[in-house]
Structure 1
């Protein structure tokens, strides 16, 4: 038994709208190159001040 498809108006409208894939986007259009500047001293690692950013779940929950 062969199944014959009889497209109705809704199916034809869906196929007209979604029947094909969108246009491809080139990789060059998805990326942007910018010049990286020198890093500031504020971005440097400070072992003496690293305790300020310590996070502990037990302390956060008050345990």
Structure 2
């Protein structure tokens, strides 16, 4: 009998904590729109030796 009462108390505690779903979040609340400004930075060309320091390529490392 006491085990059944304990189970009911545990079930009541779980139901009080997890008994309902949280409130629905609207899509507008999940996203944020920010205007971006064009950057004046000059991008490095792929032939620039300094560009190879920013990424690693296995074929390039093997000399293929």
The answer to whether TM tops 0.5 is yes
Cα displacement string for residues 28-60 of structure 1 (whole angstroms, at most 9, x for unaligned residues): 011111111012324x24221322224256x6x
**Residue ranges of structure 2 left out of the alignment (5+ in a row):** none
Give the RMSD, CA atoms, in angstroms: 2.4
In proportion to residue count, which structure has more helix? 2
Structure 1 length normalisation: TM-score? 0.61
Higher relative contact order (CA 8 A, sep 6+): 2
Number of aligned residue pairs: give it.
52
Structure 2 length normalisation: TM-score? 0.60
